[in-house]
Amino acid sequence: EDASTIEGIFPNDSEIFLPEDQEPMNLDPLIFEKMPYLRLLKLAYFQIRCQLPQGLHSFPRDLRYLRWDCYPLRTLGSNFTPHNLVYLSMTDSELEKLWDEFQDMKNLKYVDLGGSKKLTCLPNLSRANIWKLDLEFCTNLVELPPLKFHTNFDDAKNETKEINFYNGCILDEKCDLLLLEGVWFGGLKDCFLNLNMCSNLRIVSEMSGNIKYICLRSTAIEELHTSIGYLNNLFVLDLFGCRHLKNLPSSICDSASLSILDMHGCVSINTFPKLPKTLKALDLSGTSIQRINSSSFESMPFLKNFYMNNCTKLESIPTTICKLKSLQVLSFINCSKLKSFPEILEPMENLEMLYLNGTGIEVVPPSISLLAKLQNLDLRECKNLKSIPISNIYNMCNVYIFIDENPTQQHLIVSLPFDVNISTMLDHSKCKGSCLDMNRVSFLNSQFVGLIDFSRDEKKIKLASWFDNLKF
């Protein structure tokens, strides 16, 4: 076939599968000069492996779709102009840069250079129309240039549905999982910027347009550009593991759409940030926050999931936490300096899971009775715990209270009323002894209805005789 008439090199995925030991094909540097009308080029690694030992002069000007896995050169050729390029995918490439001069790239929508560990810079993309930019594991990238995302938001309806689907796994289920997992990337084709594990990335420049998901996980950024607060459709901001990030821009409070903010492991954050009222899920675990201002909880009426696990400097929680009326999951796991849980001044009618395990609290306040829908209260590894006022929550159905036996809990008081209607679970799976020493736990007014769950059946058997002596 005459090469000058070729418009696409696009092998069917099911037709060609090369063995791992297949020798790569050496290509002539002028190979694409012979294909002036080439518009589609797909060289997937599992289908064909090519080398360019003498370099490459240029790709065709009309090229619109370019996928070349493990691309072997440092540049895209000396004369390439990307004016017509719509899709660019060169994962795990040897690229150091794309092109030098400022180009008009109004057609460019999809860029995936993930795993290109030698990439040191990107061109200015403020004239592009980006839908997806994936730079995951570009570990030599230091600065992100100005970006312009697409402005025709109507075309993103399907992507919005996919994002909402992945959201549901966190926002609708009440569990003690972290906010964001790898699954977030699974179904998202558009509307996102992925800079995960760009470990040397320090500067993120101005962004504009419609973008819904920004992942800056484990980057070296110290601050965010103020423009991030004016991205009107930003839904998820993932800052997990940004150890050098010191604060958020004040413009973040003006966000009209931000629903999920993950700052887990941002160890340089030492003050509670000012946040937008649109938030539905917030993870501040592993930060260095010492205190929370009383006003912080008054501006987040839609917050459902709130995590501050492993905040080892946190000493107190303000009583205004009761202002979080939509809250369903609240977690302070391993906040070892947290000595008390605040009095609840107003009903919190949606809170279902409260995790206080590993904290230093001594007393659970009687006002816990204002948590009408509470299902799980986790107090395991609370070594200073002295009392649990179950008598104040006797009207709560289906409450599970998790505690464990600890040598320091010699005087743990569990008060139970006569007409108790509670299922109580005492979890002793970590106990070294064969059964619970009931002399360490006092049950007052023991008309007790409970579920005692141990890790071994023989523990239940040894405990049964103790319950036989109770009068119900």
The predicted-structure confidence for 268-320, as pLDDT tens digits, reads as follows 999 999 999 999 999 999 999 999 999 999 999 999 999 999 999 999 999 99
pLDDT surpassing 80 at residue 432: no
Average pLDDT on 245-254 reads 96
Could you give the 3-state DSSP secondary structure of residue 185? helix
In a domain, 212, yes or no: no
In a domain, 239, yes or no: no
In a domain, 319, yes or no: yes
Residue entry with tokens 């107003």: 346
User: What does the mean pLDDT of the chain come to?
Assistant: 79
pLDDT surpassing 60 at residue 238: yes
Element (H, E) at 467: helix 457-468
Q: Residues 254-276: pLDDT tens digits?
A: 999 999 999 999 999 999 999 99
User: Can you give the pLDDT at residue 190?
Assistant: 60
In a domain, 101, yes or no: no
54-58, 104-108, 175-179, 438-442: lowest mean pLDDT where?
175-179
Other C-beta atoms within 10 Å of 316: how many?
14
Q: Cα 252–258–260 angle (5° rounding)?
A: 115
Q: Residues 412-429: pLDDT tens digits?
A: 555 444 333 333 444 444
Identify which of 160-174, 271-285, 373-387 has the greatest average pLDDT.
271-285
User: For residues 383 and 466, which has the higher predicted lDDT (pLDDT)?
Assistant: 383
- Quick one: pLDDT band at residue 22, thresholds 50, 70, 90? confident
* CA 153 – CA 192 distance, rounded (Å): 13
* CA 173 – CA 324 distance, rounded (Å): 18
In a domain, 162, yes or no: no
User: Can you give the pLDDT at residue 77?
Assistant: 83
Contact 273, 296 (CB under 8 A): no
User: For residues 393 and 294, which has the higher predicted lDDT (pLDDT)?
Assistant: 294
pTM more than 0.75: yes
User: Can you give the pLDDT at residue 397?
Assistant: 59
Q: Residues 214-234: pLDDT tens digits?
A: 999 999 999 999 999 999 999
User: Can you give the pLDDT at residue 50?
Assistant: 84
pLDDT surpassing 60 at residue 23: yes
- Quick one: pLDDT band at residue 47, thresholds 50, 70, 90? low
Number of domains in the chain: 1
Identify which of 9-23, 161-175, 180-194, 271-285 has the greatest average pLDDT.
271-285
In a domain, 427, yes or no: yes
In a domain, 395, yes or no: yes
CA distances from 293 to 177, 289, 301, 329 (A): 26, 11, 16, 20
Domain that holds residue 422: 309-472
In a domain, 232, yes or no: no
69-83, 126-140, 450-464: lowest mean pLDDT where?
450-464
pLDDT surpassing 60 at residue 444: no
User: Can you give the pLDDT at residue 405?
Assistant: 59
Average pLDDT on 43-60 reads 85
* CA 174 – CA 328 distance, rounded (Å): 7
- Quick one: pLDDT band at residue 401, thresholds 50, 70, 90? confident
Average pLDDT on 80-106 reads 89
- Quick one: pLDDT band at residue 243, thresholds 50, 70, 90? very high
CATH number where 470 lies: 3.80.10.10
pLDDT surpassing 50 at residue 253: yes
CA distances from 211 to 60, 73, 297 (A): 30, 31, 27
